Amino acid sequence: MFIKLLGLSIPCLIVIILKSKKALHMLQQNWYNEGGRYIHWIVKNPKKVFLTPDLLFFLFLIGMVIDQEILLFLFFLFYAVVALLIYQAMKKEQTKKPLVVTKRVRRLIYTTLLCYFLIFLIIGLTFKTANIYLYITTLGLACYMQYFIIWLANIINKPIEKFVFYYYKRKAVKKLSSMTNMPVIGITGSYGKTSSKNILADLLNVRYNAFPTPKNFNTTYGLINTINNYLDKFNDYFIAEMGAFKRGEIKEICDLVKPKYGILTCVGTAHLESFGSRENIQKGKFELIESLPSDGIGILNGDDPYQRSYKRKNNCKIVWIGIDSEDVDLRAINIQLSHKGTSFDCIVDNKKYHFETKLLGKSNVYNILASIALGRELGISMDQLIIGVKKVNVIEHRLELKKYGNINIIDDAYNSNPVGSKMALEVLSMMPGKKIVVTPGMIELGPEEYEYNKTFGEQIAEVASDVILVGETQTKAIYDGLINKKFEKENIHIINDVKQAFPMMQKLQEKETYVLLENDLPDIFNEK
């Protein structure tokens, strides 16, 4: 009978595998429950976790009154149907960033398999035909609670992950300390980090061989991975992008890479929910500047009151940049923004230099100014910097202009903060022809999230003729802002899958159409 139970449990095991993949995907996108993010996601998404097709396994609680052979057959049939339903749902599901099967994910899979092996081992060692009902209930419950089984596997693996982390960290520290002639440049801020990193790399490469962290490798793990697998002794400068969700994380990265130079883009409201307060964000971002040595150089934004007002605890050299402020070391004036690019004059040492770039928007003027300031400190002439700025490459997913058929897409998918979103709308407003906004709104803004999104909706109403909102619940505040500005309801289109936005764009397009893709939330925020 035990062999029969194993055979008839195959559909149940298939369901476990399918649900494990989904649970691992969510765990990975929630930073392996760092700061309780995974559990927080479960609490906020009870329908996805608990209202699953296998919820009906509780019907087997009445199994005691059914013949065992019939009960086993119904168990097999039930999970065969559930497996089919889950598989079909996963095929249709929108996935922006699929599960990456890293070594850490593999270790979680092994631990999860071990958990189920132990369940079957206990059943096998204690097997009694009379307990078939109990065994079926146990398997059904384990399958249903798969999101929590993965959470448990993550807890079990913590000591292993700590060992792995410290092993690779020591390896990275040893490698980096051997590269004594390669200064490190840190870049952080609430937004503009990746853009500034790429711009700086392009400018420094006019004269040097600078290596920036790839993609979004801006955590301690990402920096360790970058150092161990990508950095080499032929690099003149290592540009380290530094991201954080709470205070202390940037300091941890600085302790690892020991930057000599630093750029702080802006102190904004990104990740306000996890930081807890604007003051914590301010202190967290300044961990980079306060980690610089006395002979280091920090680049700060003089237009940012949170940078102006901060009392630093170290004495490194500070170079101020700005647009509105006059008492800065480098100032951009005569800014000309258009749908083809940007030009401005840079005032430094009472001299004026003219810059042109294909990058769009006022936000990129700040990013370019910061890179000019540091490039100049590192020995690159203004003439070389003028040429470098002209050749700066468009940054992927950050006000990137691209084509989708006859539609012009302004791809700002990696932007998710109030200031950046407003500047993106300013870019859209400069475009000729019909203007459409596609957005799921902004997240992780704490108790102010509703008001920020509502204001965003009001700003959209001033620019766009049509709005495509992705996720009815998530975009409620934007909808309220649009309505508050008397935006036509028939021009508001609500979808739950961003894939539906593209055929909708084609229906709404006119001869000249520009579509702003503002923010692209990870899969953990899918409402479908």
Report the DSSP beta bridge partners of residue 435.
514
- Residue 365 CB partners (closer than 8 Å, separation 6+): 323, 332, 335, 342, 344
Residue 309: CA atoms inside 13 Å, Cβ hemisphere, count?
Answer: 9
Sole residue written with tokens 């039930």 = 78
Is residue 171's pLDDT more than 80? yes
- Quick: pLDDT tens for 481-515: 999 999 999 999 999 877 788 899 999 999 899 99
pLDDT at position 528: 55
Claim to verify: residue 48 and residue 118 sit in the same structural domain: yes
State the alpha helices, DSSP H only, in 132-277. 132-144, 146-156, 158-177, 193-204, 220-229, 249-257, 272-275
DSSP string, 363-407: HHHHHHHHHHHHHHHTT--HHHHHHHHHHPPPPTTSSEEEEETTE
**If you average pLDDT over every residue of the chain, what do you get?**
90
Chosen domain end from 391, 422, 445: 391
Chosen domain end from 340, 358, 391: 391
Crossing angle between the packed helical segments 382-391 and 193-204, to the nearest 10 degrees: 120
Q: What is the mean pLDDT of residues 156-173?
A: 96
Who has greater pLDDT, 58 or 386?
Answer: 386
pLDDT at position 132: 83
Claim to verify: residue 387 and residue 430 sit in the same structural domain: no
- Quick: pLDDT tens for 401-431: 888 888 999 988 876 788 889 989 999 999 9
Number of domains in the chain: 3
DSSP H or E stretch at residue 507? helix 501-508
Give the separation between CA 457 and CA 412, rounded to whole angstroms: 16
CATH number at residue 257: 3.40.1190.10
- Quick: pLDDT tens for 59-102: 776 655 677 788 888 888 999 999 999 999 888 776 667 899 99
Q: Is residue 164 part of a domain?
A: no
Q: Is residue 8 part of a domain?
A: yes
DSSP 100: P
Q: Is residue 258 part of a domain?
A: yes
Is residue 311's pLDDT more than 90? yes
Claim to verify: residue 23 and residue 107 sit in the same structural domain: yes
Claim to verify: residue 378 and residue 492 sit in the same structural domain: no
Claim to verify: residue 91 and residue 19 sit in the same structural domain: yes
DSSP 99: P
CATH number at residue 451: 3.90.190.20
pLDDT band at 521 (very low <50, low <70, confident <90, very high): low
Claim to verify: residue 515 and residue 470 sit in the same structural domain: yes
- Quick: pLDDT tens for 432-446: 889 999 999 988 787
Chosen domain end from 339, 368, 391: 391
Claim to verify: residue 88 and residue 133 sit in the same structural domain: yes
Claim to verify: residue 11 and residue 94 sit in the same structural domain: yes
- Quick: pLDDT tens for 6-53: 677 899 999 999 999 999 999 998 889 987 889 988 998 898 899 999
Q: Is residue 168 part of a domain?
A: no
State how far the alpha carbon of 414 is from the alpha carbons of 128, 208, 393, 407, 454, in Å.
57, 28, 17, 20, 20
Claim to verify: residue 104 and residue 204 sit in the same structural domain: no
Contact indicator for 442, 449 with CB cutoff of 8 Å = yes
Q: Is residue 169 part of a domain?
A: no
How much is the CA Rg of the chain, to the nearest whole Å?
Answer: 27
Q: Is residue 330 part of a domain?
A: yes
Give the separation between CA 55 and CA 141, rounded to whole angstroms: 9
Q: Is residue 105 part of a domain?
A: yes
Is residue 109's pLDDT more than 60? yes
Sole residue written with tokens 């258009």 = 338
Contact indicator for 438, 471 with CB cutoff of 8 Å = no
- The angle subtended at Cα 10 by Cα 9 and Cα 15, nearest 5°, is 100
**SS3 at position 504:** helix
Claim to verify: residue 382 and residue 453 sit in the same structural domain: no
pLDDT at position 130: 81
pLDDT at position 94: 65
Claim to verify: residue 420 and residue 476 sit in the same structural domain: yes
- Quick: pLDDT tens for 201-250: 999 999 999 999 998 789 999 999 999 999 998 899 999 999 988 899 99
Q: Which range of residues forms the domain containing residue 142?
A: 2-156
Q: Is residue 365 part of a domain?
A: yes
Claim to verify: residue 117 and residue 234 sit in the same structural domain: no
